[in-house]
């Protein structure tokens, strides 16, 4: 396999893991808030098969990876019945933000592990710092190179997934926070036309998405260079 193919493979593996963490967090939090629907359907699991959506989890991420775009996509929505929540508004917000928060936790864990690798030796430090400049690790003879590349992709893709889902455009997670602050007529319109906003965001808002995601990536990288 060429370095590019290896990188695409890593990105897709990491993406499957990231969405599994994301959806499991939704399902687990919903169960804790009183709604057992997702848990009873086996969605509190890291098994990606339980979360795969053919278009959002397979086709779109593969096209994005091959074309060099950030790997974006979605999983099969976690089924939630708000009528089971003890506090419908607050619990809906908690369940919604649980997914992005879980991705930030994974990204932070990957960052710390990369920092540990960077501190292990001068050559490992050079390897990790090289990843910031697009180095794939393919030309390195270090046994840590594949691990470092995988962790770096794990960090980046979880950041992208977290920030993307926090955008307040239905049906993304961020919309479940904003909608509760809208009056009823505005909320109905917001829910109905939101999907068109999502389509426009994915296909036409590349510059906007980059401007939203870039500060978070830079923040994580600024911490990484301190190791």
Tell me what pLDDT residue 140 has. 60
Tell me what pLDDT residue 216 has. 97
Number of domains in the chain: 1
Number of other residues whose CB lies within 10 A of the CB of residue 71: 21
Of 3, 10, 14, 41, nearest to 154 by C-alpha is 14
Number of other residues whose CB lies within 10 A of the CB of residue 53: 15
**Alpha-carbon span 95 to 80, nearest angstrom:** 9
Segment 181-205, tens digit of pLDDT: 999 888 888 888 776 777 777 676 6
pLDDT confidence of 2, banded at 50, 70, 90? low
Q: What is the DSSP string of 165-219?
A: HHSSSTTSTTHHHHGGGS-HHHHHHHHHHHHHHHHHHHHH-HHHHHHHHHHHHHH
Segment 44-90, tens digit of pLDDT: 999 999 999 888 888 888 887 777 776 777 889 899 999 999 999 99
pLDDT confidence of 1, banded at 50, 70, 90? low
23 tagged catalytic: yes
Of 52, 61, 63, 66, nearest to 160 by C-alpha is 61
Tell me what pLDDT residue 171 has. 84
Segment 13-52, tens digit of pLDDT: 999 999 999 999 999 999 999 999 999 999 999 999 999 9
Query: The domain containing residue 41 runs over which residues?
Result: 3-224
Tell me what pLDDT residue 150 has. 94
């Amino acid at each position: 396999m060429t370095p590019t193919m290896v990188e695409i493979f890593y990105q897709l593996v990491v993406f499957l893991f990231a969405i599994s963490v994301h959806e499991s967090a939704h399902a687990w939090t919903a169960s804790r808030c009183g709604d057992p629907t997702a848990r009873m359907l086996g969605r509190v699991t890291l098994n990606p098969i339980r979360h795969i959506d053919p278009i959002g989890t397979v086709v779109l991420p593969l096209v994005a990876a091959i074309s060099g775009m950030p790997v974006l996509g979605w999983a099969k929505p976690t089924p939630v019945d708000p009528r089971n929540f003890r506090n419908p508004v607050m619990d809906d917000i908690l369940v919604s933000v649980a997914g992005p928060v879980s991705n930030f936790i994974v990204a932070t864990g990957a960052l710390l592990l990369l920092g540990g690798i960077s501190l292990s030796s001068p050559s490992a430090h050079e390897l990790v710092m090289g990843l910031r400049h697009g180095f794939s690790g393919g030309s390195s003879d270090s046994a840590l190179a594949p691990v470092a590349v995988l962790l770096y992709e794990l960090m980046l893709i979880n950041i992208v997934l977290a920030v993307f889902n926090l955008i307040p455009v239905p049906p993304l997670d961020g919309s479940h926070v904003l909608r509760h602050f809208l009056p009823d007529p505005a909320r109905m319109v917001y829910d109905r036309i939101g999907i068109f906003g999502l389509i426009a965001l994915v296909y036409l808002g590349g510059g906007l998405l980059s401007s939203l995601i870039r500060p978070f990536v830079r923040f994580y990288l600024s911490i990484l260079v301190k190791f």
